[in-house]
C-alpha cells in the first residue's frame, strides 16, 4: 500500500488565533520571507514541528505574523527576482522539507491509530449522520 497523505483543515477567526493554537500544540511559527535575516531553506532545521506562513507576492506577511514568528525562512534566488508566486514558494519549501524528513531518522509518519482518527474525523465532516451509520453497522455485525 502506498503512502497516504492527510491534510487537516482548521479555521480560525484571525492570524493571531491560529498562531496561538499552533504554538499551544508545540509548533514553531516559520515566516517565509524573500530576504533579510532569514535562514536559507537548505539550512532549515526539521527536528521541530513547524507551521509555515506565506504572504502574498505584493504585500508579504502581516505584521502580526512577523512579530509572532519564531524563525524566518527564505528560498535562495538569483538575478532580479525578489519574490516568487505563493504556490511556487509553498511547493518548493514543502518539497524540500518532505525530502529532508524522508532522509532523516525523525519519526514523522502518522501511527495507525492517528490514521484511523483522521479517517473518522473526515467521515464525520462528510456524513452528518455518521454516529447513526456506525451504530447501524455495529448492530448488523
Per-residue b or e along 124-138, where b marks 16 or more CB atoms closer than 10 Å to that residue's CB? eeeeeeeeeeeeeee
Written as nine digits, the cell of 76 is 535562495
pLDDT tens for 126-137 read 888 888 888 888
- Cα dihedral 127, 128, 130, 133 sign: negative
Numbered ranges of CATH 3.40.1280.10 in the chain: 15-106
Whole-angstrom distance, CA of residue 47 vs CA of residue 135: 41
pTM: 0.78
pLDDT tens for 46-90 read 999 999 999 887 788 899 999 999 999 998 887 777 678 889 999
Please give the CATH architecture assigned to the domain spanning 15-106. Answer: 3-Layer(aba) Sandwich (3.40)
Q: Please report the pLDDT score of residue 1 as a whole number.
A: 42
Amino acid at each position: 500500500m502506498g503512502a497516504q497523505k492527510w491534510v487537516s483543515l482548521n479555521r480560525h477567526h484571525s492570524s493571531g488565533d491560529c498562531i496561538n493554537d499552533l504554538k499551544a500544540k508545540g509548533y514553531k511559527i516559520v515566516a517565509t520571507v524573500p530576504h533579510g535575516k532569514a535562514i536559507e531553506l537548505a539550512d532549515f532545521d526539521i527536528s521541530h514541528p513547524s507551521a509555515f506562513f506565506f504572504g502574498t507576492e505584493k504585500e508579504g506577511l502581516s505584521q502580526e505574523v512577523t512579530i509572532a514568528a519564531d524563525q524566518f525562512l527564505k528560498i535562495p534566488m538569483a538575478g532580479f527576482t525578489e519574490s516568487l508566486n505563493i504556490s511556487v514558494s509553498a511547493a518548493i519549501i514543502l518539497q524540500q522539507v518532505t525530502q529532508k524528513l524522508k532522509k532523516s531518522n525523525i519519526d514523522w509518519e502518522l501511527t495507525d491509530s492517528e490514521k484511523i482518527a483522521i479517517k473518522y474525523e473526515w467521515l464525520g465532516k462528510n456524513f452528518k449522520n455518521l454516529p447513526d451509520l456506525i451504530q447501524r453497522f455495529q448492530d448488523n455485525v
